[in-house]
Amino acid sequence: MKEGVNPVLKRRILTDSGAGWHATAKFWGSQRLSSKELRDAGLKATLPRRKILEVLEQQESRHVSAEDVYRLLVETGEDVGLATVYRVLTQFESAGLISRHHFEGGHSVFELNLGQHHDHILCVKCGRVEEFVDELIEQRQRDIAEKAGFSMTDHCLYIYGICAECQKAKS
Ligand SMILES: [Zn+2]
Ligand SMILES: [Zn+2]
C-alpha cells in the first residue's frame, strides 16, 4: 500500500549550508510501518501495537517518551494502560522498529527507526529536540575508530544547550 511519500515522515533536520545551519524539511524514506512490517518483525499486529505505532508515526516532534505515548493514546480515547505502552515500546525496540535515546535529565525517548543515522541537539529548558547530520563529525569519528583499531558499528552524539526561544524568554 504505497501512495508516494508519506508526509508523516517529513522531518526537520539541521544541515550546514556553508553559510550556517538551516533547518530543512527532509523526506526520510517512504516506509510507513504497517501491520505487515509488524509481522515481518515477528510481532503480531495487535490493536495496542498498531495504535502505538500510529502515535509514533504521527508525532510532530518525532521524539516521545513512553508517558507521552500513553497521554496521546488516552487523549484519543484509546483504552491502553501505561504498562502496555512500556511493554510494547520495549518489544518494538528489540525488533529494531524504534530507537531509544537516553537524554540527560529526562526519561527515555523513542523515535521510529527509519534507517538514517543522525545526531541530536536538545534544549535543557524546554526539551525540544532537533536532528542534525554533519559529515565532518561523522568522518572524524570513523577516523578515530579506525586509528584505535576499531570497526565502528554505531555512535551517538547529543549536544545539550538552551534553544534560541528559551534564551529570548529569559531576557
Ligand atoms: Zn528551549
Ligand atoms: Zn532523532
Task: Please report which confidence band the pLDDT of residue 5 belongs to, taking 50, 70 and 90 as the band edges.
Answer: very low
Which numbered ligand comes closest to the C-alpha of 123? 1
Considering the chain, what percentage of its residues have pLDDT values greater than 90?
Answer: 39
Instruction: Give residue 115's pLDDT.
Output: 74
State residue 127 phi and psi, 5-degree precision: 85, 5
The structural architecture, per CATH, of the domain 32-113 is Orthogonal Bundle (1.10)
The pLDDT value given to residue 152: 87
Please give the share of the chain, as a percent, with pLDDT higher than 70: 77
pLDDT at 9 over 70: no
Q: How many A from CA of 130 to the centre of ligand 2?
A: 7
Give DSSP secondary structure letters for the chain.
Answer: ---S--GGGEEEEEEE-SSSEEEEEEE--S----HHHHHHTT----HHHHHHHHHHHH-SSS-B-HHHHHHHHHHTT----HHHHHHHHHHHHHTTSEEEE--TTS--EEEE--S---EEEEETTT--EEEE--HHHHHHHHHHHHHTT--------EEEE--HHHHHHH-
Q: Distances from the Cα of 153 to the Cαs of 84, 103, 140, 141, 146, in angstroms?
A: 31, 20, 14, 11, 11
Q: How far is the CA of 111 from the centre of ligand 2 (A)?
A: 6
The model's pLDDT over 14-48, given as tens digits with 9 standing for 90+, comes to: 776 666 666 665 555 444 566 777 888 888 888 88
Domain ranges of the chain: 32-113
Q: What is the C-alpha to C-alpha distance for residues 85 and 94, in angstroms, rounded to an integer?
A: 14
Give the three cell numbers for residue 128: 525540544
d(CA 160, CA 120): 9
Lowest-confidence segment of 22-36, 78-92, 146-160 by average pLDDT: 22-36
Query: Of the ranges 31-40, 57-66, 85-94, 156-165, which one carries the lowest mean pLDDT score?
Result: 31-40
Check whether 108 has a pLDDT greater than 90: no
Span from the CA of 152 to the centroid of ligand 2 (angstroms): 20
- Give per-residue pLDDT as tens, 49-80: 989 988 888 766 678 899 999 999 999 898 89
Ligand number nearest CA of 100 is: 2
CA pair distance 122, 159, nearest whole angstrom: 6
